[in-house]
Chain A
């Protein structure tokens, strides 16, 4: 049975932990707000771009741009976007589980964002091509370097396709680990439900498009931008997911610590009461013995 002093000590240490997790919760909450806004603001653009290009892919001639068709090689390039820091619940674990359970055919090479992603790839003994550190909040200029790297790799023709593994942000408590195909251009889901009307597509299916000045020029300007923008949006989704998960994890930790303090205090008071009763008993017995 622990002494009252032991329990007091434990209460103190739990209180300290609660204070730290509470502070982390507040920091994560502030960052979460910003990251969520950033992610949801950029979503419309990235989605619209994706939709327009997927639509144009149907109408464009075969081989007008390398980003519209699979490369000749049979390797697959995977971009894995995880967080830099831990303490965000099962966020990264779920993401890596998704990666491991989804069987990607052929030889796979990896590009990573985030320290946790590098660690995971090393632990799984997979081929790591490059790791890009991204600050928080994510800057577009940093992401552009990744976009360029991916494009260069894909243009060599060694890779059949480029996949991205990232956390899709739905809302503060729901985050979905997702695998999407970045190249060749393919429909991509970002965030929750798509918020544009799908009825427009059907009207244009049979008709031809005119390209000014030419299809090749239009795609050559737009597609590199598309890759950069999409990767950036995916990073934003991952960041929003990370901060939300951390906020929720820290809130749970704080709540648990509070419950623990409550339980320990109860036990402490019981022990204290027992000690007092014991003492009173001893005094009365001693007094009775003297009489």
Chain B
């Protein structure tokens, strides 16, 4: 039984294909999904997504979101999804710097939304860097 994987972001439908397995960063840690997985819904943390199809593994950086797993379909709704090849290391580093600066300027207690946004940006960019650097050492 094949597993259909669908990834959509507000900008576009990123991925829609049948795959063998997918490993995703769930709320309670990394989670592997195989065909006929029990029905499950969880939130996603920014991190790394691994898709295995015909023995080949592709990596993607994804942002926060939601995943719905049923026996036949895995639907991922996230705010960003980037192919590992397309990650710009320099841009990610700059994003971390920028977010840190905003965090330093904001007073604690106030601007909760901005703080959350900056934290998410750091988490996302770190995930990007992590994937990029890991690939290089291989």
Residues of A that sit less than 8 Å from B by CB:
41-42, 44-46, 48-49, 52, 55-56, 140, 200, 203-204, 207-213, 215, 217-218, 221-222, 229, 232
Contact pick for A212, options B10, B40, B77, CB 8 Å: B40
Segment from B47-55, B65-73, B82-90, B92-100 that makes contact with A: B65-73
Indicate if B26 sits at the interface (CB-CB under 8 A).
yes
B-chain residues with CB within 8 Å of residue A218 when the two chains form the complex: 27, 41-43, 66
Complex Cα spacing A217 to B27, Å? 10
Count B-side interface residues using an 8 Å CB cutoff. 24
Would you call A212 and B26 a contact (CB within 8 A)?
yes
Q: Which residue of A lies closest to B28 (CB)?
A: A212
Complex Cα spacing A21 to B39, Å? 56
Chain B contact residues: helix, strand, loop or mixed: strand
Say whether, besides A210-B38, A221-B43, A203 and B28 are in contact (CB < 8 Å).
no
Indicate if B11 sits at the interface (CB-CB under 8 A).
yes
Would you call B42 and A212 a contact (CB within 8 A)?
yes
B-chain residues with CB within 8 Å of residue A207 when the two chains form the complex: 39, 70-71
Chain A contact residues: helix, strand, loop or mixed: helix
Q: Which residue of B lies closest to A215 (CB)?
A: B41
Complex Cα spacing A64 to B61, Å? 31
B-chain residues with CB within 8 Å of residue A212 when the two chains form the complex: 26-28, 40-43
Would you call B43 and A222 a contact (CB within 8 A)?
yes
Complex Cα spacing A204 to B71, Å? 8
Complex Cα spacing A100 to B100, Å? 50
